[in-house]
């Protein structure tokens, strides 16, 4: 905590690119003039202000690696949401978006911390874990990583192509998918929600002392955290980020 | 917005507004049960009017924050659920 006081202040980032990820999600790429750099796993608060002054705030994890100059956020469109429809449908290149961050040092990973890393994601919970996978790649780290990623269907896997490419030429990065609602005909992977039996098979042995990061909807996060502890993993090495029932 | 049970990390923004430094890696000891752990590993209940950080072991309220949004901006901070904070 030494050093000068840097107040967490609201600033305006500029949307420099938007890119559809899946039918319900989109990546927003921002350039933030006063960006002080982030760690993989951190988030930003986004604030929208209506004409009558009403404000709504939401937190979004940063998906880009710290080594990347732009800030990438993954926005999932929730039809009855207060914030996400605006972010997903209305924002255009050149628009400004009010945000503050980076925030949070607890759910963060630096390459020098090592591992092995056990990453478990549900849906858009992949975002902060993607920042870790990209940070690892950017730093040339050889920390072994297993990523277990639950999506509803093949089409809804966010970063599917990039994960495939990264894992293809990296023996120490394993990506395991489970598709909970529908599967392509030739699908040979898991086809159910993440449970203890799956984690027993996929996770490192407790003796390897993996550092686990779990991010997604609350029920998934609680199931995974409980199962990992039950399997003998050290609770102090399990870090969780619940989305909650999502206020959108 | 309904009350949401989230990780201590979800309170990181409002805590940094008040303390001006990152506090989720600090350790807090619970006055009620004595358990000590990182602030980020406790449970946060976040609503429009305020945030309550509860002990992940016994559910005791460690930190309660109410924020007045209108000018002048004010905070009410109740820390009596914490025995001590260990900062790095």
- H or E element: which one contains A223? helix A218-230
Question: Which segments of chain B does DSSP mark as H helices, in order?
Answer: 12-19
Do the chains contact at B39 and A55, CB–CB below 8 Å?
no
CATH fold label, A11-103: Elongation Factor Tu (Ef-tu); domain 3 (2.40.30)
| pLDDT tens sequence across A97-154 | 999 999 999 999 999 999 999 999 999 999 999 999 999 999 999 999 999 999 999 9
CB proximity A103 to B under 8 Å: yes
Strand ranges, E, within chain A: 11-22, 25-31, 43-49, 55-61, 71-76, 96-103, 117-122, 145-151, 173-179, 211-216, 238-242
pLDDT of residue B3: 57
Do the chains contact at B22 and A105, CB–CB below 8 Å?
yes
Please say whether the beta carbons of B52 and B72 come within 8 A.
Answer: no
> CA of A86, closest CA in chain B: separation in Å?
17
0.90 exceeded by the pTM?
A: yes
For B5, nearest residue in chain A (alpha carbons): A244
> CA of A63, closest CA in chain B: separation in Å?
16
| pLDDT tens sequence across A6-20 | 678 999 999 999 999
pLDDT of residue A2: 47
pLDDT of residue B1: 40
Please say whether the beta carbons of B58 and B72 come within 8 A.
Answer: no
The domain limits of chain A are: 11-103, 111-242
Residue A247 clears pLDDT 70, i.e. is over it: no
Please say whether the beta carbons of B51 and B32 come within 8 A.
Answer: no
Contacts of A142 (CB under 8 A, 6+ apart): A172
The CA-based angle A236-A171-A164, given to 5 degrees, is: 90
- In this prediction, what percent of chain A has a pLDDT beyond 90? 83
Q: How confident is the model at residue A4 (pLDDT cuts 50, 70, 90)?
A: low
Q: Closest by alpha carbon to A109, among B40, B11, B87?
A: B40
Q: How confident is the model at residue A1 (pLDDT cuts 50, 70, 90)?
A: very low
Chain A CB contacts of B39 under 8 Å are 106
Tell me the C-alpha to C-alpha distance, in Å, between residue A87 and each of A21, A53, A143: 14, 18, 35
| pLDDT tens sequence across A184-231 | 999 999 999 999 999 999 999 999 999 999 999 999 999 999 999 999
| pLDDT tens sequence across B20-74 | 999 999 999 999 999 999 999 999 998 878 899 999 999 999 999 998 877 788 9
Chain B CB contacts of A1 under 8 Å are 21, 87-88
The domain limits of chain B are: 4-86
CB proximity A36 to B under 8 Å: no
For B1, nearest residue in chain A (alpha carbons): A247
Please say whether the beta carbons of A228 and A203 come within 8 A.
Answer: yes
pLDDT of residue A112: 96
Beta carbons within 10 angstroms of residue A35's beta carbon: 17
Q: How far apart are CA A194 and CA A197, in angstroms?
A: 8
CATH entry 3.40.50.80 includes domain A111-242: yes
Chain B CB contacts of A100 under 8 Å are 13
Q: What is the ipTM of this complex?
A: 0.91
Please say whether the beta carbons of A43 and A125 come within 8 A.
Answer: no
Q: How far apart are CA A192 and CA A243, in angstroms?
A: 20
Chain B CB contacts of A225 under 8 Å are none
Chain A CB contacts of B40 under 8 Å are 104-107, 239
Q: How far apart are CA A175 and CA A194, in angstroms?
A: 14
Q: How confident is the model at residue A245 (pLDDT cuts 50, 70, 90)?
A: low
- Lookup result for tokens 């630096």: A110
Over chain A, what is the mean pLDDT? 93
Please say whether the beta carbons of A230 and A132 come within 8 A.
Answer: no
pLDDT of residue A79: 83
pLDDT of residue A212: 98
pLDDT of residue A53: 86
Do the chains contact at A104 and B12, CB–CB below 8 Å?
yes
Residues of chain A numbered 123-162 and touching chain B (CB < 8 Å): none
Q: What is the mean pLDDT of residues B9-16?
A: 94
């Amino acid at each position: 905590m030494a050093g000068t006081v840097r107040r967490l202040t609201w600033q305006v980032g500029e949307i420099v690119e938007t890119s559809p990820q899946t039918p319900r999600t989109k990546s927003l790429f921002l350039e933030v003039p006063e960006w002080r750099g982030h760690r993989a796993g951190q988030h930003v608060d986004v604030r929208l202000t209506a004409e009558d002054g009403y404000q709504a705030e939401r937190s979004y994890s940063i998906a880009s690696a710290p080594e990347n100059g732009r800030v990438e956020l993954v926005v999932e469109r929730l039809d009855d949401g207060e914030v996400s429809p605006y972010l997903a449908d209305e924002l255009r290149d050149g628009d400004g978006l009010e945000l503050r961050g980076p925030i949070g040092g607890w759910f963060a990973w630096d390459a020098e911390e090592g591992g092995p890393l056990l990453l478990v994601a549900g849906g858009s919970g992949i975002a902060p874990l993607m920042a870790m996978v990209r940070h690892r790649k950017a730093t040339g780290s050889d920390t072994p990583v297993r990523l277990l990623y639950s999506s509803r269907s093949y089409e809804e896997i966010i970063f599917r192509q990039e994960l495939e490419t990264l894992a293809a030429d990296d023996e120490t990065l394993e990506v395991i998918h489970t598709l909970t609602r529908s599967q392509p005909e030739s699908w040979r992977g898991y086809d159910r929600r993440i449970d203890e039996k799956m984690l027993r098979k996929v996770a490192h042995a407790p003796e390897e002392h993996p550092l686990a990061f779990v991010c997604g909807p609350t029920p998934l996060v609680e199931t995974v955290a409980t199962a990992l502890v039950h399997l003998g993993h050290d609770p102090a090495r399990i870090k969780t980020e619940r989305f909650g029932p999502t206020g959108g | 917005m309904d009350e949401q049970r989230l990780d201590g990390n979800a309170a990181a923004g409002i805590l940094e507004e008040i303390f001006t430094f990152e506090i989720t890696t600090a350790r807090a000891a619970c006055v009620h049960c004595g358990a000590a752990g990182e602030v980020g590993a406790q449970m946060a209940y976040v609503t429009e009017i305020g945030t309550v950080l509860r002990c992940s072991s016994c559910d005791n309220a460690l930190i309660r924050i109410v924020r007045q949004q209108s000018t002048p901006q004010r905070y009410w901070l109740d820390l009596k659920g914490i025995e001590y904070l260990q900062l790095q």
